[in-house]
Structure 1
């Protein structure tokens, strides 16, 4: 039985369809996730893939548009489940908890898109469900985040020009502060793949 699992959250084509993708905090998200997946498979850990869908919305998250799929370069192997969620966290609208329980998983590592949204929310819920959570920040992606008072119709240029917009670095720091010591252990891809010990 698997005692640990890697949950890959929303590393999907939907995000690459947005202009904001050019400002992603981790341009090599596919490479970073692939390293984690390779290490997890090597240890015999369970790997779970999660996609986010918003059916009927006509947005990039509407499955009808064809973007609710993993970004090229990532693909499950036989025995690795792919779940589709419609909530921010990966537990509420899927059978993720059942899968983890049946596999005997207690330790859960998370990565994906977005750092402070679906990945963080999954981490918090997982911790509340009794899992030992590991949050791999450099295998997540966030974007410049507008102030709450900025209109939803604001353009990308307006978001980037607004001095109240949080930078990627600020968003990452706030997420790590909120999670560390409360909901998760913060780790890096190098730490989890042995690259530090190998001198890579």
Structure 2
């Protein structure tokens, strides 16, 4: 089995505070994703970057604004595929399925933003396609929502995805596996 790390929507606009409130606890999230990235590269596992493109010119993740770019602390390698999407699921762009097939990927590991939107939708779509999927339970995050803290939302997403068949791993477990 070939496992790939999907890093979802870890874009500058989510962290820089220029066009929206910065992601709460963004620095620890980026640090965790850096550890995942280093582990995947060390093992020779494919890393696939997912970027969300918003249509509104004033939006933080509009393709023509600096916020669209991957957070510079993460530094994608030139050979690592980038998939742009405009819907929550990364599978909304057929290029993801094509890339997974080309790379021989049969198992996914997910991390990134936003827990209850793009991360959850991508995990659900992966399961629908029969792909064994793991979620790094401490390397995805979101903003507070509907009276719940970001941490509460993340915990709820972890529970829902585990119930749906996603395997939960900590960043430490992934990095030492």
Q: Same fold (TM over 0.5)?
A: yes
* Runs of 4+ with deviation above 4 angstroms: none
Moved more, 24-33 or 38-47: 24-33
Q: What pairs up with 1:79-118 in 2 under 5 angstroms?
A: 79-118=79-118
Moved more, 125-134 or 61-70: 61-70
* Matched-pair contact (CA < 8 Å) for 2:12–2:67: yes
1:6 pairs with 2:18: no
TM-score between the two structures when normalised by the length of structure 1 = 0.81
Taking the aligned partners of 2:48 and 2:165, their CA distance within structure 1 comes to: 20
* Matched-pair contact (CA < 8 Å) for 2:50–2:85: yes
Taking the aligned partners of 1:74 and 1:7, their CA distance within structure 2 comes to: 13
Change (3 A) 1:26 1:61: closer
Deviations 1:166-197 (A, max 9, x none): 11232122111111042310111011112xx9
Among 161, 167, 173, the residue aligned to 1:191: 173
Change (3 A) 1:78 1:66: closer
Q: Gapped runs of 5+ residues in structure 1? A: 147-164
Aligned residues: 175
Q: Gapped runs of 5+ residues in structure 2? A: none
Please state whether the residue corresponding to 2:140 is helix, strand or coil.
strand
Taking the aligned partners of 1:92 and 1:53, their CA distance within structure 2 comes to: 12
Pair member with larger Rg: 1
- CA RMSD, aligned part only? 1.8
* Matched-pair contact (CA < 8 Å) for 2:13–2:60: yes
